[in-house]
Amino acid sequence: MKIDILTIFPEFFDGVFDVGIIRRAKLAGIVEIDVHDIREFARDKHRKVDDRPFGGGEGMVLKPEPLFRAIENLLGTSDRSEYEEGTHVVMLTPRGKPLVQTNAAAIADKAKRVLLICGRYEGVDERVMSAVTDEISIGDYVLSGGEPAAVVLADAVTRLLPGALGNEGSAENDSFSRGILDYPNYTQPREYRGMEVPEVLLSGNHEEIEKWRHEKALEKTRGVREDLLKEKGE
Ligand code: SAM
């Protein structure tokens, strides 16, 4: 998969994809991530990327021309009907559909090329949406810019690409993958500051361990995310 990120703050991404699973996925050729400075696509001598909103109001808005040029430079077109199959042009925005594990998995499964557009200030000129295939929000709160959201999306998708997790485990038991939260995990030592590892985990009885884990996962989900159980019809 190729991920391209469009931002006016490319330095935000310095080192952020050079650790852990994403770094390994990059080295293994599973994912390629390139960061592009939107300013490079501005034509005026001051490389202006923002301007005041028509109709008045506070703040600035990212201009359409540099963004259209950037998309055309990367994809050869900004006409959605001409995008190659498996191309997603994503606008990170609090007005988008909430990012959940199932849509991260759908992108990991089907997408070959993902272009992530990071807004700033009051947002992006609405006409850019004509070139966008997905509007995605990472949650019901407002960030100062789309960059942290781009990192979240790139991470959530990359770890689901075949081979990305290596020996570090599988995503199957992660929270949300089965529609509920993950079960609690324990490691050495068996006893720490008076807190003991639950006996069942030391029993070697895999059936009992699975049963206990499922019960604990349900208990946790019931406690903090009852909405997930309702969605599952439990
Ligand atoms: N005025 C916009 C609104 O209320 O919808 C918020 C603009 S926000 C200060 C600047 C940029 O941060 C947005 O254009 C978007 O790219 C990004 N952003 C902020 N919150 C986000 C979220 N929850 N998910 C994804 N991107 C977000």
Give the model confidence (pLDDT) of 33-50 as tens digits. 999 999 999 999 999 999
Tens digits of per-residue pLDDT, 82-104?
Answer: 999 999 999 999 999 999 999 99
Asked if residue 168 belongs to a domain, the reply is no
Whether the CB-CB separation of 114 and 136 falls below 8 Å is answered with no
> Among this protein's residues, is 159 annotated catalytic?
yes
Whether the CB-CB separation of 135 and 97 falls below 8 Å is answered with yes
Tens digits of per-residue pLDDT, 121-177?
Answer: 999 999 999 999 999 999 999 999 999 999 999 999 999 999 999 765 677 778 887
Residue 208 in this model has a pLDDT that exceeds 70:
yes
> Among this protein's residues, is 34 annotated catalytic?
no
Q: How confident is the model at residue 71 (pLDDT cuts 50, 70, 90)?
A: very high
The residue among 158, 189, 207 that closes a domain is 158
154 and 191: one domain?
A: no
95 and 187: one domain?
A: no
Q: What is the pLDDT of residue 167?
A: 62
Asked if residue 145 belongs to a domain, the reply is yes
Q: How many angstroms is it from 138 CA to the middle of ligand 1?
A: 9
Asked if residue 164 belongs to a domain, the reply is no
Q: What is the pLDDT of residue 168?
A: 55
Asked if residue 125 belongs to a domain, the reply is yes
The residue among 133, 158, 183 that closes a domain is 158
> Which backbone phi and psi does 94 adopt, to 5 degrees?
-65, -10
Distance of CA 204 to the CA centre of its chain: 37
Q: How confident is the model at residue 56 (pLDDT cuts 50, 70, 90)?
A: very high
Q: What is the pLDDT of residue 47?
A: 95
Out of 155, 174, 182, 225, the active site residue is 174
127 and 212: one domain?
A: no
Tens digits of per-residue pLDDT, 175-205?
Answer: 887 889 999 999 999 999 999 999 999 999 9
40 and 138: one domain?
A: yes
Measured from the Cα of 99, ligand 1's closest atom is 24
72 and 137: one domain?
A: yes
76 and 45: one domain?
A: yes
183: domain range?
175-232
115 and 220: one domain?
A: no
Residue 8 in this model has a pLDDT that exceeds 70:
yes
Asked if residue 95 belongs to a domain, the reply is yes
Out of 10, 64, 134, 159, the active site residue is 159
Q: What is the pLDDT of residue 171?
A: 79
147 and 75: one domain?
A: yes
CATH code for the domain in which residue 215 is found: 1.10.1270.20
Residue 116 in this model has a pLDDT that exceeds 80:
yes
CATH code for the domain in which residue 88 is found: 3.40.1280.10
- On the CB side of 167, CA atoms within 13 Å amount to 0
Q: What is the pLDDT of residue 233?
A: 77
Q: How many angstroms is it from 122 CA to the middle of ligand 1?
A: 8
109 and 50: one domain?
A: yes
Asked if residue 15 belongs to a domain, the reply is yes
User: Ligand 1 pocket by C-beta < 6 Å: which residues?
Assistant: 92-95, 118-120, 122-124, 137-139, 141-146, 149
154 and 184: one domain?
A: no
Measured from the Cα of 141, ligand 1's closest atom is 23
Distances (CA, A) of 161 to 21, 25, 30, 114, 171: 11, 9, 7, 13, 10
CA–CA dist 107, 33 (Å, integer): 15
149 and 194: one domain?
A: no
DSSP 134-153: EEEESSSS--SBSHHHHHHH
Out of 4, 64, 94, 147, the active site residue is 94
Residue 5 in this model has a pLDDT that exceeds 90:
yes
Q: How many domains does the chain have?
A: 2
134 and 206: one domain?
A: no
Look at ligand 1, atom 9, and give the residue with the nearest C-alpha.
Answer: 144
Asked if residue 40 belongs to a domain, the reply is yes
Q: How many angstroms is it from 77 CA to the middle of ligand 1?
A: 25
> Among this protein's residues, is 66 annotated catalytic?
no
CA–CA dist 92, 87 (Å, integer): 16
> Among this protein's residues, is 227 annotated catalytic?
no
